[in-house]
Structure 1
Amino acid sequence: MAKLPVLISRPGERAGPLAEAIEARGLPVKRLDVMDLEPLPETPAMRSAWLDIDHFRKVVVVSPFAAECLVEALNRYWPQLPVGIDYYAVGASTAALLHRRLGVRVHVPSPSAGEDTSEALLKLASLHALDEQRVLLVAGEGGRPLIADTLGSRGARVTRLVVYRRRLLDPDPAMAARLANGDYRALVVSSGEILEHLARWCTEAALNQPLIVSSARLATLAGRLGFNVPVVASGATPAALAVAVARSSAPEEADVDHDDLEKG
Protein backbone atom coordinates (compact mmCIF):
# COMPACT_ATOMS: atom_id res chain seq x y z
CA MET A 1 0.00 0.00 0.00
CA ALA A 2 1.31 3.42 -0.92
CA LYS A 3 2.53 5.60 1.90
CA LEU A 4 0.12 8.23 3.12
CA PRO A 5 1.25 11.73 2.15
CA VAL A 6 2.28 14.61 4.35
CA LEU A 7 0.04 17.60 3.69
CA ILE A 8 1.74 21.00 3.61
CA SER A 9 -0.11 24.31 3.71
CA ARG A 10 2.71 26.80 3.09
CA PRO A 11 1.59 29.20 0.33
CA GLY A 12 3.38 30.23 -2.84
CA GLU A 13 6.92 29.45 -3.88
CA ARG A 14 8.00 28.70 -0.30
CA ALA A 15 6.10 25.41 -0.48
CA GLY A 16 8.73 23.99 -2.84
CA PRO A 17 11.70 23.90 -0.41
CA LEU A 18 9.48 22.52 2.36
CA ALA A 19 8.23 19.72 0.10
CA GLU A 20 11.81 18.89 -0.91
CA ALA A 21 12.97 18.73 2.71
CA ILE A 22 10.20 16.30 3.64
CA GLU A 23 10.55 14.20 0.49
CA ALA A 24 14.29 13.87 1.21
CA ARG A 25 13.24 11.81 4.24
CA GLY A 26 11.40 9.33 2.06
CA LEU A 27 7.90 10.71 2.62
CA PRO A 28 5.49 11.74 -0.14
CA VAL A 29 4.04 15.25 -0.01
CA LYS A 30 0.85 16.87 -1.24
CA ARG A 31 0.21 20.61 -1.23
CA LEU A 32 -2.88 22.18 0.28
CA ASP A 33 -3.32 25.31 -1.81
CA VAL A 34 -5.49 27.25 0.61
CA MET A 35 -3.92 30.72 0.57
CA ASP A 36 -2.96 33.19 -2.15
CA LEU A 37 -0.63 36.10 -1.51
CA GLU A 38 -1.39 39.19 -3.58
CA PRO A 39 0.76 42.36 -3.72
CA LEU A 40 -1.29 45.48 -3.08
CA PRO A 41 -1.28 48.32 -5.63
CA GLU A 42 1.18 51.02 -4.70
CA THR A 43 -0.41 53.82 -2.70
CA PRO A 44 0.94 57.34 -2.11
CA ALA A 45 1.94 56.23 1.40
CA MET A 46 3.93 53.31 0.00
CA ARG A 47 5.66 55.47 -2.59
CA SER A 48 6.53 58.05 0.05
CA ALA A 49 8.04 55.36 2.29
CA TRP A 50 10.10 53.88 -0.54
CA LEU A 51 11.41 57.27 -1.61
CA ASP A 52 12.24 58.17 2.00
CA ILE A 53 13.74 54.81 2.93
CA ASP A 54 16.99 56.55 3.84
CA HIS A 55 15.13 58.43 6.61
CA PHE A 56 14.52 55.18 8.49
CA ARG A 57 17.06 53.84 10.95
CA LYS A 58 15.66 50.31 10.97
CA VAL A 59 13.54 48.23 8.57
CA VAL A 60 11.70 45.21 9.99
CA VAL A 61 10.28 42.65 7.53
CA VAL A 62 7.79 40.09 8.80
CA SER A 63 7.60 37.47 6.02
CA PRO A 64 9.29 36.29 2.81
CA PHE A 65 6.50 37.74 0.67
CA ALA A 66 6.83 41.11 2.43
CA ALA A 67 10.54 40.86 1.64
CA GLU A 68 9.77 40.23 -2.04
CA CYS A 69 7.60 43.34 -2.13
CA LEU A 70 10.29 45.40 -0.39
CA VAL A 71 13.01 44.19 -2.78
CA GLU A 72 10.90 44.99 -5.83
CA ALA A 73 10.22 48.53 -4.57
CA LEU A 74 13.81 49.25 -3.59
CA ASN A 75 15.11 48.00 -6.92
CA ARG A 76 12.64 50.33 -8.64
CA TYR A 77 13.46 53.47 -6.64
CA TRP A 78 17.00 52.91 -5.40
CA PRO A 79 19.51 51.62 -7.99
CA GLN A 80 22.05 51.92 -5.16
CA LEU A 81 20.83 51.20 -1.64
CA PRO A 82 21.31 53.92 0.96
CA VAL A 83 23.65 53.11 3.82
CA GLY A 84 23.03 53.36 7.55
CA ILE A 85 19.89 51.21 7.69
CA ASP A 86 19.67 48.16 9.96
CA TYR A 87 17.51 45.37 8.50
CA TYR A 88 15.59 42.87 10.63
CA ALA A 89 13.62 39.76 9.68
CA VAL A 90 11.20 37.71 11.74
CA GLY A 91 12.49 34.41 10.31
CA ALA A 92 15.52 32.84 8.66
CA SER A 93 13.83 32.47 5.25
CA THR A 94 12.98 36.17 5.16
CA ALA A 95 16.53 37.08 6.21
CA ALA A 96 18.04 34.83 3.55
CA LEU A 97 15.89 36.39 0.84
CA LEU A 98 16.87 39.94 1.85
CA HIS A 99 20.55 39.02 1.98
CA ARG A 100 20.44 37.24 -1.37
CA ARG A 101 18.47 39.91 -3.24
CA LEU A 102 19.77 43.10 -1.61
CA GLY A 103 23.16 42.01 -0.30
CA VAL A 104 22.40 43.44 3.14
CA ARG A 105 23.23 42.05 6.57
CA VAL A 106 20.03 41.09 8.35
CA HIS A 107 19.41 40.73 12.09
CA VAL A 108 17.33 37.64 12.85
CA PRO A 109 16.37 35.73 16.02
CA SER A 110 18.52 32.77 16.94
CA PRO A 111 17.14 29.46 15.60
CA SER A 112 17.54 28.12 19.15
CA ALA A 113 15.16 30.74 20.57
CA GLY A 114 12.55 28.00 20.91
CA GLU A 115 9.55 30.37 20.79
CA ASP A 116 7.38 32.37 18.44
CA THR A 117 9.70 34.26 16.12
CA SER A 118 8.03 37.65 16.70
CA GLU A 119 8.70 37.44 20.42
CA ALA A 120 12.23 36.20 19.73
CA LEU A 121 12.91 39.12 17.39
CA LEU A 122 11.80 41.60 20.02
CA LYS A 123 14.37 40.19 22.44
CA LEU A 124 17.26 41.36 20.26
CA ALA A 125 19.23 43.95 22.23
CA SER A 126 19.35 46.40 19.32
CA LEU A 127 15.54 46.65 19.35
CA HIS A 128 15.45 48.03 22.89
CA ALA A 129 15.74 51.71 23.87
CA LEU A 130 14.80 53.03 20.43
CA ASP A 131 14.36 56.69 21.51
CA GLU A 132 12.66 58.40 18.55
CA GLN A 133 14.31 56.17 15.94
CA ARG A 134 12.23 55.85 12.78
CA VAL A 135 11.36 52.22 12.09
CA LEU A 136 9.67 50.92 8.94
CA LEU A 137 7.66 47.73 9.45
CA VAL A 138 6.91 45.93 6.16
CA ALA A 139 4.03 43.49 6.57
CA GLY A 140 0.89 41.97 5.11
CA GLU A 141 -2.72 42.88 5.70
CA GLY A 142 -4.01 41.85 9.12
CA GLY A 143 -1.69 39.95 11.42
CA ARG A 144 -0.80 40.64 15.03
CA PRO A 145 0.12 44.18 16.14
CA LEU A 146 2.73 42.84 18.58
CA ILE A 147 5.86 44.10 16.82
CA ALA A 148 4.53 47.59 16.02
CA ASP A 149 3.04 48.05 19.48
CA THR A 150 6.16 46.82 21.28
CA LEU A 151 8.58 48.93 19.24
CA GLY A 152 6.35 51.96 19.75
CA SER A 153 6.34 51.38 23.50
CA ARG A 154 10.14 51.40 23.38
CA GLY A 155 10.25 54.85 21.87
CA ALA A 156 10.34 54.10 18.14
CA ARG A 157 8.42 56.13 15.58
CA VAL A 158 6.93 53.20 13.69
CA THR A 159 5.55 53.32 10.16
CA ARG A 160 3.66 50.11 9.35
CA LEU A 161 3.48 49.57 5.61
CA VAL A 162 0.98 46.95 4.39
CA VAL A 163 2.23 45.66 1.05
CA TYR A 164 0.20 42.50 0.40
CA ARG A 165 -2.98 40.70 1.28
CA ARG A 166 -3.72 37.08 2.06
CA ARG A 167 -6.70 35.42 0.40
CA LEU A 168 -7.97 32.17 1.92
CA LEU A 169 -9.17 29.45 -0.47
CA ASP A 170 -11.27 26.36 0.12
CA PRO A 171 -9.39 23.07 -0.29
CA ASP A 172 -10.15 21.31 -3.55
CA PRO A 173 -12.55 18.35 -3.22
CA ALA A 174 -9.77 15.74 -3.05
CA MET A 175 -7.97 17.59 -0.26
CA ALA A 176 -11.20 18.30 1.58
CA ALA A 177 -11.87 14.54 1.55
CA ARG A 178 -8.39 13.82 2.94
CA LEU A 179 -8.98 16.28 5.78
CA ALA A 180 -12.42 14.81 6.49
CA ASN A 181 -11.09 11.25 6.58
CA GLY A 182 -7.71 11.87 8.21
CA ASP A 183 -6.26 10.31 5.07
CA TYR A 184 -2.71 11.59 5.52
CA ARG A 185 0.38 11.00 7.64
CA ALA A 186 0.78 14.52 9.05
CA LEU A 187 -0.42 18.05 8.43
CA VAL A 188 2.19 20.86 8.44
CA VAL A 189 1.01 24.38 9.33
CA SER A 190 3.10 27.44 10.22
CA SER A 191 0.34 30.08 10.13
CA GLY A 192 -2.40 30.63 12.68
CA GLU A 193 -4.69 32.03 10.01
CA ILE A 194 -4.31 28.90 7.87
CA LEU A 195 -4.71 26.61 10.89
CA GLU A 196 -8.02 28.22 11.88
CA HIS A 197 -9.17 28.01 8.24
CA LEU A 198 -8.29 24.33 7.82
CA ALA A 199 -9.92 23.36 11.11
CA ARG A 200 -13.29 23.85 9.43
CA TRP A 201 -12.65 20.72 7.30
CA CYS A 202 -11.02 18.59 10.00
CA THR A 203 -13.22 15.87 11.49
CA GLU A 204 -12.31 13.74 14.51
CA ALA A 205 -10.15 11.52 12.30
CA ALA A 206 -8.05 14.50 11.22
CA LEU A 207 -7.90 15.98 14.71
CA ASN A 208 -6.20 12.78 15.86
CA GLN A 209 -3.51 12.85 13.16
CA PRO A 210 -0.13 14.53 13.84
CA LEU A 211 -0.19 18.28 13.32
CA ILE A 212 3.25 19.84 12.81
CA VAL A 213 3.42 23.49 13.91
CA SER A 214 6.29 25.95 14.01
CA SER A 215 5.84 27.47 17.48
CA ALA A 216 4.40 26.90 20.93
CA ARG A 217 1.87 29.67 20.23
CA LEU A 218 0.48 27.67 17.29
CA ALA A 219 0.41 24.52 19.40
CA THR A 220 -1.74 26.35 21.96
CA LEU A 221 -4.09 27.51 19.19
CA ALA A 222 -4.21 23.95 17.83
CA GLY A 223 -5.27 22.66 21.24
CA ARG A 224 -8.09 25.19 21.40
CA LEU A 225 -9.23 24.07 17.95
CA GLY A 226 -9.37 20.44 19.02
CA PHE A 227 -6.17 19.00 17.52
CA ASN A 228 -4.92 16.24 19.78
CA VAL A 229 -1.43 15.48 18.44
CA PRO A 230 0.47 18.77 17.97
CA VAL A 231 4.21 18.41 17.34
CA VAL A 232 6.19 21.63 17.80
CA ALA A 233 9.10 22.07 15.39
CA SER A 234 12.21 23.99 16.44
CA GLY A 235 11.32 26.71 13.93
CA ALA A 236 9.57 27.49 10.66
CA THR A 237 12.40 26.59 8.29
CA PRO A 238 11.94 23.64 5.90
CA ALA A 239 14.67 21.70 7.73
CA ALA A 240 13.09 22.22 11.16
CA LEU A 241 9.62 21.28 9.95
CA ALA A 242 10.95 18.19 8.13
CA VAL A 243 12.68 17.01 11.33
CA ALA A 244 9.39 17.38 13.21
CA VAL A 245 7.54 15.44 10.51
CA ALA A 246 10.09 12.65 10.83
CA ARG A 247 9.73 12.70 14.61
CA SER A 248 5.98 12.18 14.26
CA SER A 249 6.41 9.20 11.90
CA ALA A 250 7.47 5.61 12.43
CA PRO A 251 11.29 5.51 12.16
CA GLU A 252 11.34 2.67 9.67
CA GLU A 253 9.05 4.60 7.36
CA ALA A 254 10.41 8.12 7.90
CA ASP A 255 14.11 7.40 7.31
CA VAL A 256 14.84 9.56 10.35
CA ASP A 257 18.31 11.02 10.82
CA HIS A 258 18.80 10.67 14.58
CA ASP A 259 21.61 13.23 14.64
CA ASP A 260 19.23 15.78 13.14
CA LEU A 261 16.59 14.93 15.72
CA GLU A 262 19.01 15.66 18.53
CA LYS A 263 19.87 19.01 16.97
CA GLY A 264 16.24 19.86 16.35
Structure 2
Amino acid sequence: MSMAPVLICRPGPRAAALAEAMAARGFVVEHGEAMALEPLPEDAAQRAAWLDFDQFRRVVVVSPFAAECMAEAVDRYWPQLPVGIDYYAVGAATAATLHRELGVRVHLPPAGGGDTSEALLALGSLQRLDEQRVLLVAGEGGRPLLAETLAARGACLTRLAVYRRRLLEPAEPLRQRLTAGDYRALVVTSGEILEHLARWCSHTALHQPLIVSSTRLATLAGTLGFRRPVVASGATPAALADAVTKGDPEKADVDHDDLEKG
Protein backbone atom coordinates (compact mmCIF):
# COMPACT_ATOMS: atom_id res chain seq x y z
CA MET A 1 0.00 0.00 0.00
CA SER A 2 1.36 3.39 -0.95
CA MET A 3 1.52 6.16 1.60
CA ALA A 4 -0.94 8.47 -0.14
CA PRO A 5 -3.47 9.44 2.53
CA VAL A 6 -7.22 9.18 2.74
CA LEU A 7 -8.54 12.73 3.17
CA ILE A 8 -11.49 13.01 5.54
CA CYS A 9 -13.43 16.25 5.71
CA ARG A 10 -16.03 15.48 8.38
CA PRO A 11 -16.55 18.39 10.78
CA GLY A 12 -16.63 18.16 14.55
CA PRO A 13 -15.62 15.39 16.94
CA ARG A 14 -16.98 12.62 14.68
CA ALA A 15 -13.88 13.02 12.51
CA ALA A 16 -11.78 11.20 15.11
CA ALA A 17 -13.91 8.06 15.03
CA LEU A 18 -13.82 8.07 11.24
CA ALA A 19 -10.03 8.43 11.24
CA GLU A 20 -9.73 5.49 13.64
CA ALA A 21 -11.88 3.30 11.38
CA MET A 22 -9.72 4.16 8.38
CA ALA A 23 -6.48 3.55 10.27
CA ALA A 24 -7.78 0.18 11.45
CA ARG A 25 -7.96 -0.88 7.79
CA GLY A 26 -4.38 0.19 7.20
CA PHE A 27 -4.96 3.54 5.54
CA VAL A 28 -2.92 6.64 6.24
CA VAL A 29 -5.33 9.43 7.17
CA GLU A 30 -5.27 13.21 6.92
CA HIS A 31 -8.06 15.38 8.30
CA GLY A 32 -8.98 18.42 6.24
CA GLU A 33 -10.84 21.19 8.06
CA ALA A 34 -13.53 22.47 5.71
CA MET A 35 -16.38 23.35 8.07
CA ALA A 36 -16.85 24.43 11.67
CA LEU A 37 -20.00 23.72 13.71
CA GLU A 38 -20.98 26.50 16.12
CA PRO A 39 -23.88 26.44 18.65
CA LEU A 40 -26.31 29.30 18.18
CA PRO A 41 -26.98 31.59 21.13
CA GLU A 42 -30.32 30.80 22.73
CA ASP A 43 -33.07 33.00 21.33
CA ALA A 44 -36.79 33.35 22.03
CA ALA A 45 -37.73 30.54 19.65
CA GLN A 46 -35.34 28.10 21.31
CA ARG A 47 -36.43 29.13 24.79
CA ALA A 48 -40.09 28.63 23.91
CA ALA A 49 -39.41 25.17 22.47
CA TRP A 50 -37.44 24.04 25.53
CA LEU A 51 -40.12 25.36 27.92
CA ASP A 52 -42.81 23.52 25.91
CA PHE A 53 -40.70 20.40 25.42
CA ASP A 54 -43.22 18.21 27.23
CA GLN A 55 -45.91 19.26 24.75
CA PHE A 56 -44.21 17.62 21.76
CA ARG A 57 -45.36 14.15 20.72
CA ARG A 58 -42.32 13.49 18.52
CA VAL A 59 -38.82 14.95 18.41
CA VAL A 60 -36.73 14.48 15.25
CA VAL A 61 -32.99 15.20 15.40
CA VAL A 62 -30.88 15.41 12.26
CA SER A 63 -27.27 15.21 13.45
CA PRO A 64 -25.08 14.33 16.44
CA PHE A 65 -24.21 17.98 17.01
CA ALA A 66 -27.89 18.92 17.01
CA ALA A 67 -28.44 16.13 19.55
CA GLU A 68 -25.66 17.49 21.78
CA CYS A 69 -27.05 21.03 21.65
CA MET A 70 -30.58 19.82 22.40
CA ALA A 71 -29.48 17.57 25.25
CA GLU A 72 -27.60 20.41 26.91
CA ALA A 73 -30.64 22.68 26.71
CA VAL A 74 -33.15 20.04 27.82
CA ASP A 75 -30.98 19.22 30.82
CA ARG A 76 -31.07 22.88 31.89
CA TYR A 77 -34.83 23.22 31.58
CA TRP A 78 -35.92 19.70 32.52
CA PRO A 79 -33.88 18.04 35.29
CA GLN A 80 -36.34 15.16 34.92
CA LEU A 81 -36.99 14.31 31.28
CA PRO A 82 -40.67 14.50 30.25
CA VAL A 83 -42.33 11.19 29.36
CA GLY A 84 -44.49 10.34 26.37
CA ILE A 85 -42.16 11.67 23.67
CA ASP A 86 -40.99 9.54 20.74
CA TYR A 87 -37.48 10.40 19.53
CA TYR A 88 -36.22 9.99 15.97
CA ALA A 89 -32.73 10.29 14.48
CA VAL A 90 -31.59 10.35 10.87
CA GLY A 91 -28.50 8.25 11.61
CA ALA A 92 -27.02 5.84 14.12
CA ALA A 93 -24.49 8.34 15.47
CA THR A 94 -27.28 10.80 16.27
CA ALA A 95 -29.28 8.06 17.97
CA ALA A 96 -26.23 7.04 20.01
CA THR A 97 -25.73 10.64 21.12
CA LEU A 98 -29.36 10.96 22.23
CA HIS A 99 -29.19 7.68 24.11
CA ARG A 100 -25.92 8.62 25.80
CA GLU A 101 -26.97 12.14 26.77
CA LEU A 102 -30.66 11.64 27.57
CA GLY A 103 -31.03 7.88 28.05
CA VAL A 104 -33.90 7.67 25.56
CA ARG A 105 -34.87 5.03 23.04
CA VAL A 106 -34.58 6.35 19.50
CA HIS A 107 -36.32 5.38 16.27
CA LEU A 108 -33.98 4.99 13.29
CA PRO A 109 -34.49 4.52 9.54
CA PRO A 110 -35.34 0.94 8.53
CA ALA A 111 -32.36 -1.40 8.27
CA GLY A 112 -30.69 -1.18 4.88
CA GLY A 113 -32.27 2.16 4.04
CA GLY A 114 -29.21 4.23 4.86
CA ASP A 115 -28.78 7.24 7.12
CA THR A 116 -30.92 9.66 5.11
CA SER A 117 -33.98 11.83 5.60
CA GLU A 118 -35.77 9.82 2.93
CA ALA A 119 -35.16 6.58 4.83
CA LEU A 120 -36.36 8.05 8.12
CA LEU A 121 -39.54 9.32 6.48
CA ALA A 122 -40.32 5.74 5.42
CA LEU A 123 -41.06 4.77 9.04
CA GLY A 124 -44.69 3.84 9.57
CA SER A 125 -45.05 6.01 12.66
CA LEU A 126 -44.24 9.12 10.62
CA GLN A 127 -46.79 8.56 7.87
CA ARG A 128 -49.82 10.25 9.49
CA LEU A 129 -49.17 13.05 11.96
CA ASP A 130 -52.58 14.70 12.12
CA GLU A 131 -52.18 17.73 14.39
CA GLN A 132 -49.39 16.09 16.40
CA ARG A 133 -46.80 18.54 17.74
CA VAL A 134 -43.44 17.63 16.24
CA LEU A 135 -40.10 19.27 17.03
CA LEU A 136 -37.40 19.11 14.35
CA VAL A 137 -33.95 19.95 15.75
CA ALA A 138 -31.32 20.82 13.15
CA GLY A 139 -28.74 23.36 12.04
CA GLU A 140 -29.32 26.56 10.14
CA GLY A 141 -30.16 25.99 6.50
CA GLY A 142 -29.84 22.44 5.27
CA ARG A 143 -32.31 20.38 3.27
CA PRO A 144 -36.01 21.27 3.68
CA LEU A 145 -37.22 17.73 2.92
CA LEU A 146 -37.87 16.63 6.51
CA ALA A 147 -39.70 19.79 7.52
CA GLU A 148 -41.78 19.97 4.36
CA THR A 149 -42.76 16.29 4.44
CA LEU A 150 -43.63 16.21 8.14
CA ALA A 151 -45.78 19.32 7.74
CA ALA A 152 -47.45 17.85 4.63
CA ARG A 153 -48.33 14.76 6.67
CA GLY A 154 -50.25 16.88 9.12
CA ALA A 155 -47.71 17.67 11.83
CA CYS A 156 -47.91 20.86 13.83
CA LEU A 157 -44.22 21.39 13.21
CA THR A 158 -41.62 23.47 15.01
CA ARG A 159 -38.27 23.57 13.23
CA LEU A 160 -35.55 24.69 15.59
CA ALA A 161 -32.04 25.68 14.46
CA VAL A 162 -29.55 25.10 17.28
CA TYR A 163 -26.24 25.49 15.44
CA ARG A 164 -24.68 27.02 12.35
CA ARG A 165 -22.24 25.63 9.82
CA ARG A 166 -19.32 27.85 8.83
CA LEU A 167 -17.29 26.93 5.76
CA LEU A 168 -13.53 27.25 6.15
CA GLU A 169 -11.06 28.01 3.40
CA PRO A 170 -8.79 24.96 3.12
CA ALA A 171 -5.43 25.31 4.83
CA GLU A 172 -2.42 25.09 2.54
CA PRO A 173 -1.74 21.34 3.07
CA LEU A 174 -5.31 20.40 2.12
CA ARG A 175 -5.32 22.84 -0.78
CA GLN A 176 -2.12 21.31 -2.13
CA ARG A 177 -3.59 17.79 -1.87
CA LEU A 178 -6.70 18.85 -3.80
CA THR A 179 -4.69 20.72 -6.43
CA ALA A 180 -2.35 17.79 -7.06
CA GLY A 181 -4.90 15.01 -6.53
CA ASP A 182 -2.29 13.56 -4.20
CA TYR A 183 -4.47 11.29 -2.06
CA ARG A 184 -5.95 7.80 -2.09
CA ALA A 185 -9.56 8.87 -1.56
CA LEU A 186 -11.57 11.89 -0.43
CA VAL A 187 -14.35 11.25 2.11
CA VAL A 188 -17.21 13.76 2.21
CA THR A 189 -20.63 13.33 3.86
CA SER A 190 -22.05 16.83 3.28
CA GLY A 191 -23.24 18.36 0.04
CA GLU A 192 -22.27 21.80 1.28
CA ILE A 193 -18.70 20.67 1.96
CA LEU A 194 -18.52 18.83 -1.35
CA GLU A 195 -19.52 21.93 -3.32
CA HIS A 196 -17.05 23.98 -1.28
CA LEU A 197 -14.08 21.66 -1.86
CA ALA A 198 -14.81 21.21 -5.56
CA ARG A 199 -13.52 24.75 -6.13
CA TRP A 200 -9.98 23.58 -5.31
CA CYS A 201 -10.08 20.18 -7.02
CA SER A 202 -7.92 19.81 -10.12
CA HIS A 203 -8.66 17.52 -13.06
CA THR A 204 -6.50 14.89 -11.36
CA ALA A 205 -8.42 15.22 -8.09
CA LEU A 206 -11.74 14.86 -9.89
CA HIS A 207 -10.58 11.47 -11.13
CA GLN A 208 -9.62 10.20 -7.68
CA PRO A 209 -12.08 8.07 -5.66
CA LEU A 210 -14.65 10.18 -3.83
CA ILE A 211 -16.43 8.45 -0.93
CA VAL A 212 -19.93 9.75 -0.20
CA SER A 213 -22.66 8.58 2.16
CA SER A 214 -25.70 8.63 -0.16
CA THR A 215 -26.74 8.36 -3.78
CA ARG A 216 -27.95 11.97 -3.51
CA LEU A 217 -24.39 13.09 -2.81
CA ALA A 218 -23.09 10.89 -5.62
CA THR A 219 -25.47 12.62 -8.03
CA LEU A 220 -24.26 16.01 -6.82
CA ALA A 221 -20.67 14.84 -7.22
CA GLY A 222 -21.36 13.97 -10.83
CA THR A 223 -22.68 17.45 -11.55
CA LEU A 224 -19.53 18.91 -9.97
CA GLY A 225 -17.27 16.82 -12.23
CA PHE A 226 -16.17 14.03 -9.91
CA ARG A 227 -15.68 10.90 -12.00
CA ARG A 228 -15.25 8.13 -9.42
CA PRO A 229 -17.90 8.40 -6.70
CA VAL A 230 -18.28 5.44 -4.35
CA VAL A 231 -21.49 5.32 -2.32
CA ALA A 232 -21.10 3.95 1.19
CA SER A 233 -23.90 1.98 2.82
CA GLY A 234 -24.30 4.79 5.35
CA ALA A 235 -22.53 7.59 7.16
CA THR A 236 -21.05 5.51 9.98
CA PRO A 237 -17.26 5.23 10.28
CA ALA A 238 -17.40 1.51 9.45
CA ALA A 239 -19.53 2.04 6.34
CA LEU A 240 -17.30 4.83 5.06
CA ALA A 241 -14.13 2.85 5.74
CA ASP A 242 -15.56 -0.14 3.88
CA ALA A 243 -16.35 2.14 0.94
CA VAL A 244 -12.76 3.43 0.87
CA THR A 245 -11.60 -0.17 0.52
CA LYS A 246 -14.05 -0.71 -2.35
CA GLY A 247 -12.91 2.47 -4.07
CA ASP A 248 -9.20 1.83 -3.60
CA PRO A 249 -7.45 2.32 -6.95
CA GLU A 250 -5.27 -0.73 -6.31
CA LYS A 251 -8.32 -3.01 -6.09
CA ALA A 252 -8.55 -4.64 -9.47
CA ASP A 253 -12.14 -5.82 -8.91
CA VAL A 254 -13.64 -2.34 -8.59
CA ASP A 255 -15.49 -0.90 -11.59
CA HIS A 256 -15.29 2.84 -11.17
CA ASP A 257 -17.72 3.51 -13.99
CA ASP A 258 -20.58 2.40 -11.73
CA LEU A 259 -21.74 3.84 -8.45
CA GLU A 260 -21.02 1.39 -5.67
CA LYS A 261 -24.11 0.75 -3.62
CA GLY A 262 -22.27 -0.43 -0.50
Indicate the TM-score class for this superposition, using the shorter chain for normalisation: over 0.9
Could you say which residue in structure 2 is the equivalent of 1:109? 109
Q: Give the letter for the 1:212 counterpart.
A: I
Matched, 1:221 2:220: yes
Q: Give the letter for the 1:181 counterpart.
A: A
Could you say which residue in structure 1 is the equivalent of 2:157? 158
User: Aligned runs of 1:23-42 on 2, under 5 Å?
Assistant: 23-42=23-42
Q: Give the letter for the 2:39 counterpart.
A: P
Task: Name the CA distance, whole Å, in 2 between partners of 1:59 and 1:3.
Answer: 45
Q: Secondary structure at the match of 1:113?
A: coil
Q: Secondary structure at the match of 2:109?
A: coil
Is contact 2:184–2:249 with CA below 8 Å preserved after alignment? no
Cα deviation code 1:179-217 (max 9, x no counterpart): 000000000000000000000000100000000000000
Is contact 2:132–2:156 with CA below 8 Å preserved after alignment? yes
Could you say which residue in structure 2 is the equivalent of 1:54? 54
Could you say which residue in structure 1 is the equivalent of 2:237? 238
Matched, 1:133 2:171: no
Q: Give the letter for the 1:71 counterpart.
A: A
Q: Give the letter for the 2:108 counterpart.
A: V
Residue 44 of structure 1 and its aligned partner are, at CA, apart by 1.2
Task: Name the CA distance, whole Å, in 2 between partners of 1:124 and 1:187.
Answer: 32
Task: Name the CA distance, whole Å, in 2 between partners of 1:65 and 1:111.
Answer: 23
Is contact 1:111–1:235 with CA below 8 Å preserved after alignment? no
Task: Name the CA distance, whole Å, in 2 between partners of 1:187 and 1:102.
Answer: 34
Could you say which residue in structure 2 is the equivalent of 1:260? none
Residue 118 to residue 21, structure 1, CA distance change in 2 (3 Å): same
Cα deviation code 1:201-259 (max 9, x no counterpart): 0010000000000000000000000000000000000000000001112568xxxxxxx
Could you say which residue in structure 2 is the equivalent of 1:3? 3
Residue 111 of structure 1 and its aligned partner are, at CA, apart by 4.1
Q: How many residues align?
A: 254
Could you say which residue in structure 1 is the equivalent of 2:80? 80
- Give structure 1 regions of 4+ aligned residues with deviation exceeding 6 angstroms: none
Task: Name the CA distance, whole Å, in 1 between partners of 2:171 and 2:143.
Answer: 28
TM-score, reference length from structure 1:
0.93
Task: Name the CA distance, whole Å, in 1 between partners of 2:142 and 2:161.
Answer: 10
> What is the root-mean-square deviation of aligned Cα atoms in Å?
1.6
Cα deviation code 1:39-63 (max 9, x no counterpart): 0000011011001100000000011
Q: Secondary structure at the match of 1:166?
A: strand
Matched, 1:44 2:39: no
Could you say which residue in structure 2 is the equivalent of 1:258? none
Q: Give the letter for the 1:48 counterpart.
A: A
Could you say which residue in structure 2 is the equivalent of 1:124? 123
Is contact 2:139–2:164 with CA below 8 Å preserved after alignment? yes
Q: Give the letter for the 1:34 counterpart.
A: A
Q: Give the letter for the 1:229 counterpart.
A: R
Matched, 1:12 2:25: no
Could you say which residue in structure 2 is the equivalent of 1:259? none
Q: Give the letter for the 1:69 counterpart.
A: C
Is contact 2:110–2:122 with CA below 8 Å preserved after alignment? no
What is the percent sequence identity of the aligned residues? 71
Please state which structure has a larger fraction of its residues in helix: 1
Q: Give the letter for the 2:156 counterpart.
A: R
Cα deviation code 1:85-141 (max 9, x no counterpart): 000001110001101111100001134114x61000000000011100000000100
Q: Secondary structure at the match of 2:10?
A: coil
Task: Name the CA distance, whole Å, in 2 between partners of 1:61 and 1:142.
Answer: 14
Q: Give the letter for the 2:12 counterpart.
A: G
Which residues of structure 1 form unaligned runs of 5+?
253-262
Task: Name the CA distance, whole Å, in 2 between partners of 1:18 and 1:111.
Answer: 21
